[in-house]
A and B are shown apart, each in its own frame.
Chain A
Amino acid sequence: MTAAAAIARARARPARRARTTESLTGWAFVTPATVIIGLFGAAPIVWSLVLSFTNDNGLSSTSAFIGVRNYKTLIHDPVVSQAIEHTIVYTALFVPGTMLVGLFLAVAMNRKIRFIWFYRTAAYATMAISTISEALVFIWLFDPSFGIVNYVFSLLHLPQQQFLNSPNEALYVIVTMTIWGWSGFAVVIYLAALQGVPQDLVEAAAIDGAGRWATFRRVTLPLLSPASLFLAVWLTINALQLFDEVYLSTQGGPLGATTVLVYYLYQQAFTTNFDFGYASAIAYLLFIVILAVTAIQFRVGRRFTFYRS
């Protein structure tokens, strides 16, 4: 038997075994990650759905199915409807606010001028600060008695404000601090997109007699639309999950004015009554809201999004 024939036979015989081996190797490679993601990412999705139909409580070991009672309570809970309202108001201000700030800064920073590295670093630095550090600085800046913002107001002859102590203002202060905190992220995304805008298109528009604003409005902005859609979706998902800043600055107050969905969920599950069942129902409400809003954004967004092929 020649060597070549032996190789050919050896190849043909274990074709099946080779496939089995590959299958086993494949599973060996994916199993560790699958266990972690399955245990902490996938199973809890079903588990919390089940929990939402129970009166499960973190403090006692008894748990019983109570049907849709948690969801019924949810619909009639005035705090939930307030929390939804606050979450929507917050998102509606934070998302466009951050996008506009990011777009403005990125356009201004998208040029080779002196000190540009310094300007960019100043924007990027906001990405390195944790939400807790950020909130702590802003509580101090907006302190009603000793804060620098009220001092600036006094210089401008504006009335002194209560800011985080006022039910009418607290949410807007949180909008302000989070826009600041996310501005670096928006700048990075828009700068990357701006650097992908082909200069010949911009020059062609200029040759055709378009002014700077018209060029920006009709050429640059449409070319940025995929970045805008990404930012809109990404920021919205994060906005609907607002928690850290509220926890540190207002604890949902004053008078519940900054109680957003996730803060209420946290309160129900981990502060006073450890009501895992009800909190899970709120979590699923949040999930549905996020899915619905994201789906709408994609549907509407795609229509206004221009992809260069």
Chain B
Amino acid sequence: MAGPRRRLPFSPWHLVLIPATIVLLFPFVWLIITSIETPAEALRFPPDLTPHVIRLQNYPDAYAAAPFGRFFLNSAIVAVTTVICNLVLCAAAGYAFARFRFLGRTALFIAMMATLMVPFQVTMIPQYIITKWIGVNLLGGAGIGHIGALIVPNAATAFGVFFLRQFFRTLPIEYEEAALVDGANRLVVLWRVVLPLAAPALATLAALTFLDSWNNFLWPLIAINSQAASTLPLGLATFQGAHSTEWTLLMAGNVMSLAPMMIVFLIAQRYFVRSVAATGLTGV
């Protein structure tokens, strides 16, 4: 049994990872290939695997068939506004829970955390009724059928409050005390001292909120009833309903729907991955 073991010139793990990566990427690849085929080629069986005519016309065709630009804009407005609202409201509440002593603090905190255990489907119907009521009686833009209905109910989350409170508690209190002694009020302390120190936690909450908002489907499905107010997932689902067998058109629409998020994700990958990993570490 003497003699060195034979070694591959590369790590044997490549032999596992290459096929795995092909499986992971194949849906994306096939999606793009179909989106640039002619309709006749897409319906060829067995499929034509050799490169052939590239038909980019599917993209303008899909864009003409459904307002993907509008969907994108709606998704972007909803996601960005939701993120900003969450950062502001959850930071304020999380900070108060972390640092202030006020009447009813513990009870309120426990009640808020209890809502975390409840699945969305339980609150969905009353949320629909409330949103409808708000639209009729208070603020039209936040009612059923308007994109405000996708922002207001998610403007603050119990998860966000909890997550930031936990983070604020790990910060050394001395800086805040020093600022208070110097005569700063609480809001200034939060804004000037605490939030800069909490940048990583805020970034994590922003990434998670953005992903959630961008990919949300069930609530927009219920709350939105027009193409003009549709977000990308909802608009894409409606588009699929209307063109269910026009595969080249569907895949072109699908590429347009997922491209913006994919680009953002690839650029800020490290930051998204860290955020998702954080849910696992704080989770249980």
> Which residues does A use to contact B, with CB under 8 Å?
19, 22-27, 29-30, 32-34, 36-37, 39-45, 47-48, 51, 58, 104-105, 108-109, 111, 113-116, 118-119, 121-134, 136-138, 140-141, 143, 145-146, 148, 150-151, 154, 180, 183, 185, 188-189, 191-193, 226-227, 229-231, 233-234, 237, 240-241, 243-244, 247-248, 262, 265-266, 269-270, 276, 279-280, 283-284, 286-287, 290-291
> Which residues does B use to contact A, with CB under 8 Å?
10-11, 13-14, 16-17, 20-21, 24-25, 27-28, 30-31, 34, 42-47, 89-90, 92-93, 95-97, 100-103, 105, 108, 111-112, 114-115, 117-130, 152-158, 160-161, 186, 211, 214-215, 217-218, 221-222, 232-234, 236-237, 240, 247, 250-251, 254, 257-258, 261-262, 264-266, 269, 272-273, 276-277, 279-281, 283-284
Say yes or no: A188 contacts B125, CB within 8 Å: no
Contact status of A231 and B280, CB under 8 A, knowing A26-B102, A37-B115 = yes
Residue of B nearest to A245 (CB): B217
Say yes or no: B254 contacts A136, CB within 8 Å: yes
Contact status of A148 and B258, CB under 8 A, knowing A22-B100, A34-B112, A140-B251 = no
Contact status of A145 and B45, CB under 8 A, knowing A125-B262, A131-B217 = yes
> When chains A and B are docked, how far (Å) is the Cα of A44 from the Cα of B124?
8
Chain B nearest Cβ from A104, distance in angstroms: 8
Chain B nearest Cβ from A246, distance in angstroms: 11
Which one of B90, B126, B215, B251 contacts A48 once the chains associate, using CB atoms below 8 Å?
A: B126
CB-defined contacts of A42 to chain B, threshold 8 Å: 111-112, 114-115
Say yes or no: A122 contacts B24, CB within 8 Å: yes
Say yes or no: B121 contacts A33, CB within 8 Å: no
SS class of chain B's interface: helix, strand, loop or mixed?
helix
Chain B nearest Cβ from A181, distance in angstroms: 9
**Could you list 9 A-B pairs, sorted by A, with CB under 8 Å?**
A29-B95, A30-B93, A32-B89, A40-B127, A109-B17, A130-B233, A137-B27, A151-B46, A154-B46
Say yes or no: A189 contacts B277, CB within 8 Å: yes
Contact status of A22 and B112, CB under 8 A, knowing A192-B281, A286-B122 = no
